[in-house]
Amino acid sequence: MRFTHGNCHYTIPDEWWDEAGMSSVVLEGSAYPSGPSPFPGIEVTLVAVENIAPVHRKATHGVFNDHPESGTAHDRVLSILKGFRSGARIPPIEVSRVPVPVPQEFKLIHGVHRLYCSIAAGFPSIPAVQVIDFFGSQE
């Protein structure tokens, strides 16, 4: 599964996409159902994915990485995609507002797997919490 975010191209291995059962599913809605905000007093809002700057990093599987505590990129991506299919509540991503003028209003702080699975699945928006503004203070 190849997809684009901004001017960057990304891939989820086709076998992962198929294993998650995404080949024949059509997801509805503008974003996945969100779990509650992990931060008291900071609300979850929908942010257009086009307003989030692309992530540039070298990881174990393209933009996706393995993590010793949260598992392999394969397992993490499958968990998210299967959550999309089942309508599970998935935590929001965390973003910060960046200074203007830039093409995208937000920078991703936490949640690259959720962001890129959402884009690959065709969601135009994603649940997010704005945790830090450009000056580094809590919102």
pLDDT given for residue 83 in this prediction = 97
Q: What is the DSSP letter of 38?
A: S
More confident residue, 6 or 138: 6
Which two tokens mark 55?
Answer: 């992530």
- State the Cα–Cα distance between residues 139 and 131, nearest whole angstrom: 6
Determine the pLDDT at residue 64. 81
pLDDT, tens digit (0-9, with 9 covering 90-100), for 36-95: 999 998 999 999 999 999 987 665 556 788 888 888 999 999 999 999 999 999 999 999
Lowest mean pLDDT among 11-15, 59-63, 88-92, 126-130: 59-63
Residue 120 near residue 85, CB atoms below 8 Å: no
More confident residue, 13 or 59: 13
Is pTM, for the whole model, over 0.85?
yes
